[in-house]
Amino acid sequence: MLPKWFNDWNSKNPTNIFGPAIVVGVVGSAVFFAAMIVSWGQPFATTSLQTGPRGTGMSVPEFVAELEAGDPTIDEYYTDSPIIPEGNEPLSGEIYENVQVLTNLTEDNFNRVMLAITNWVSPDQGCAYCHAGADEGEYASDDLYTKVVSRRMIQMTQAINEDWDAHVNANAQVGVNCSTCHRGQNVPTYIWFEQTPVADKFAGWSAVQNQATPNSEFTSLPSDALQELLVNYGQINVHDLESRVAQQPGDPTWQNTERTFALMNYFSNSLGVNCLFCHNSRAFYDPEQFTPQWSTASIAIGMVQELNNDYLIPLRDEYPEERLGPIHADAPKAACKTCHQGYQKPYQGLNVIADWPELATTGVPVYE
């Protein structure tokens, strides 16, 4: 026997036979799916990384499926075990002409590192990407800009591993090598160029915001945040905790406050985390409530500033026109996403320096 409400509906709506069926179907489906979730669990399960004291809600949730999938570039990572020197072998600086870095390697390890760099940076072009005479067996020439740049990049990599250990090895030995940024490409995906002004029809400072650009993570936040804070050593802080305060010379400005917000947004997207990875959201301003990751990120800021100013920007005149920025013809620069590429740790914490002690120091490599 059908329920009374069903018979009443049919008597009043003799031609509408779908209405009650839809209601029954929707309600029944909702009950079914609710029962399945209770029985089998949430199909899109998440896990959380605790970033602060227990009970404060300071955690970074991540989808389990994404964590299990992992960084797809890890499978393509090239590595090779070092060849332990026996002692008294001739070194690369003595064997080959015009070797200016990696001069203290044995011949086998020098060629091993060169092969790795080729796989990391120019797997399609091979040795000829940096060596103009590679096809004829001549490697000494500096005719190609790529060789000059690569030489400086090797020095930069050694400096990161040697001088910025507190960042790249904060929790465990991880290190960096050429592949950390390049991932098999001639030019790293996440380099950046100066993009301001993004408009020239505004009066005042508004010409550097309210235009969606990659540098602002496609928000209306300032597009010059990376330039001002990671190159020009601008102030990374907020204007004031109170409204309508008197401004004094040297105080943080509203512009730098908005740049700080833009940089924090860039941080979050670069590492795939939220604000609670470094901060306690009830007191962003209180250093006593920061997480340990805040210190690691602070060191990273100093590291990136040094890399841009001491290594990357000075190479500007070495690049051909097509490698320079589209607006200011500036050199390509690095920031967090260049290495992290959306993960808390580059390559999800893979130790990329274990097999490459040659890139970990400017001195004599330590082989184990």
Annotated binding site for heme: 114, 127, 130-131, 153, 167, 178, 181-182, 264, 275, 278-279, 336, 339-340
Whether residue 156 contacts residue 333, with contact meaning beta carbons closer than 8 Å, is answered with no
Strand partners, 46: 63
Q: How is residue 237 written in tokens?
A: 């802080």
Interstrand relation of 59-63 and 46-50 (parallel, antiparallel or unpaired): antiparallel
Binding-site residues, in ranges, read 114, 127, 130-131, 153, 167, 178, 181-182, 264, 275, 278-279, 336, 339-340
Between CA 206 and CA 198 the distance in angstroms is: 10
How far apart (Å, rounded) are the C-alpha atoms in residues 67 and 360?
Answer: 29
Residue 303, both tokens: 């590291």
**Total Cβ atoms within 10 A of residue 231:** 19
- The CA-to-CA distance between both ends of the chain, in Å, stands at 82
SS3 label, residue 47: strand
CA distances from 129 to 154, 311, 313, 323 (A): 16, 21, 22, 15
Question: What tokens were used for 271?
Answer: 């590492």
Omega within 30 of 0 (cis) for the link into 197: yes
146: tokens are 């790529």
Distance between CA atoms of residues 290 and 249, nearest Å: 28
CB atoms within 10 A of CB 18: 10
Torsion of CA 160, 162, 164, 167, to 10 degrees: 90
Reading the block at residue 327, the tokens are: 């607006």
Write b or e for each residue in 328-361: b if 16 or more Cβ atoms lie within 10 A of its Cβ, otherwise e.
eebbbbbbbbbbbbebbbbbeebebbebbbbbbe
- Which DSSP category does 48 fall into? E
Q: Is 91 helix (H, G, I), strand (E, B) or coil?
A: strand
3-class secondary-structure state, position 219 = coil
